[in-house]
Amino acid sequence: MAMTDVLSAEDIKKAVGAFSAAESFNYKKFFEMVGLKKKSPEDVKKVFHILDKDQSGFIEEEELKFVLKGFTPEGRDLSDKETKALLAAGDKDGDGKIGAD
């Protein structure tokens, strides 16, 4: 399954482009721009599974660094600071990874 099976290619391009500068990533704005806020829980889980490259059922810090590339190959890598901020926002139980729920 490709990201464009769930999200609009145009929305992905705009969202990734909006955060192309280093240290500019804002996960709340990004997920809104890419259209995830309007998607069903099932579609959000589909996106999660696409981003879970090792299919472990979790998105770990190393996978988060490349989250923009998970949406499009033209995406940049997140900085360590951006990665840690995204992990902190999604890691509800403090185990260092983000689960599908």
Which residues line the annotated binding site for Ca(2+)? 52, 54, 56, 58, 63, 91, 93, 95, 97
User: Which residues have a Cβ under 8 Å from the Cβ of 35 and sit 6 or more positions away?
Assistant: 7, 8, 11
Annotated binding site: 52, 54, 56, 58, 63, 91, 93, 95, 97
Q: How far apart are CA 33 and CA 12, in angstroms?
A: 8
